[in-house]
Amino acid sequence: MAKFNVRDKFGDWWDQTSPIQRGVFRVVIIAIAYAIPLLKNPIIDTPETSFVSVLFYPLIMFSLMAVGLNVVVGKSGILDLGYVAFFAIGAYTHALLSAHTSLNFWEIIPFAMGFAMLAGVILGLPALRLRGDYLAIITLGFGEIVRIIAVNTEAIGGAAGLTDIPGPNSIFGIEFTVMDPRPYYWLTLTVLLLVIWGVLRLSHRKPGRAWEAIREDEDVAEFMGVSTLKYKLWAFIIGGAVGGIAGAIFASNIRSIQPELFTLNLSIMILACVVLGGMGNIWGVILGAVLLGYIPEKLRFLSDYRIIFFGLLMVVMMNIRPNGLLPRKKRERFKEKSA
């Protein structure tokens, strides 16, 4: 089916370019990404909400979460249906710490990451001994349990949630206000670029190879001496940390959070981004996030039916193009190179 693989075509071209060309290419792409909110273009504008706010949520937020989830689902083949839990933990960490301590947003970020990572360890250590379907159900349950606990615990706001969450302090002369989503977009984009850089570094090194081995065949990986639990746990923790940062930024932007923001639907939507774009390939995943975030905003009549559409999309994609729009790199390319 996947005869035409844009990823490979681009990969071949990329291999033939010189380092200078690559550098220029990277700078141009990044500059465009930063400049998007400054553009005034009626074609890309969205009808009901302002384009810049769509750009922050869902577009860049989905991209960040999808890249985080991709480490878990795409790279290591662990189906995590409770990713929203990490997002929620990040958001609640920011809301609670800023209310009860004198820490500001930038100081809370490491805590948001830390708590999400801790949750990853607490869930992962027992759950990651299990495989496939069982693991999917456990993570699904985890996502819901975090939400139910948030609803039932009055100390963290109960069903009404938390309000009056402060935004980030100004940095480099950029003010974060309620009215202007652009600084939040730039902040998230910066985080996203850092995460992409980190994930790419990891993928090309030992952890990346270990994840790939685990994804392809866990038993064989184990026999070959890959300590599977350790690397699966790391994938989980890294994915969780990215979800935690995303949650903290999200909370600082919308200023009030309720447990109902963190439902299973969000987990599934992020999973749909990963599946549509191409599991395991960062660029595919971002493409998926941009498409699934943007289309329902652009075509407003679709947005009421978006979950129906996403559900259908997951079935259809699995049946006709199980590797997504931009599938991950084919292993053969590596074989040819090393041969």
Partner 1 sequence: MDFSILVSDFPSLTIDGIVVGAILALVSLGYTLVYGVLRLINFAHSEIFMVGTMTTYWVIQQFGFTGYEDPLPLWKFASLFILFGVTAAIVSGVAAVVLEIVAYRRLRVLGASRLSSLISAIGASFFLVEVFQKISGAKNLDFPRLLSKDPIFTIGSAYISADKILVILGAAAIFLVLNRVINHTKLGLGIRAVSQDERTATLMGVNVNKIISYTFLLGGVLAGLGSAFYMVFYETTKANVGFLIGISAFTAAVLGGIGNVKGALYGSFALGLFQQYTSAVLGYNWKDVVTFVILVFVLLVKPTGLFGESLQKARV
Binding site for partner 1 (CB under 8 A): 77, 79, 81, 126-127, 129-130, 132-134, 136-138, 140-142, 144-145, 148-149, 151-152, 264, 268, 271-272, 275, 304-305, 307-308, 310-315, 318-319, 322
Q: Distance (Å, rounded) from C-alpha 86 to C-alpha 245?
A: 9
Q: Which is nearer to partner 1, 15 or 216 (CB)?
A: 216
State in angstroms the smallest separation of the CB of 336 from partner 1.
24
Cα separations in angstroms, 261 against 192, 215, 247, 258, 265: 22, 31, 11, 6, 9
Coil, strand or helix at 164: coil
State in angstroms the smallest separation of the CB of 142 from partner 1.
8
Q: Give the DSSP per-residue string, 323-334.
A: T-SSPPPPHHHH
Q: Which is nearer to partner 1, 136 or 156 (CB)?
A: 136
State in angstroms the smallest separation of the CB of 132 from partner 1.
5
Q: Distance (Å, rounded) from C-alpha 284 to C-alpha 325?
A: 7
Q: Contact, 90 vs 248, CB < 8 A?
A: yes
Q: Which is nearer to partner 1, 142 or 250 (CB)?
A: 142
Q: Contact, 200 vs 282, CB < 8 A?
A: yes
Q: Which is nearer to partner 1, 171 or 312 (CB)?
A: 312
State in angstroms the smallest separation of the CB of 74 from partner 1.
10
Q: Distance (Å, rounded) from C-alpha 162 to C-alpha 157?
A: 5
Q: Which is nearer to partner 1, 194 or 312 (CB)?
A: 312
State in angstroms the smallest separation of the CB of 330 from partner 1.
16
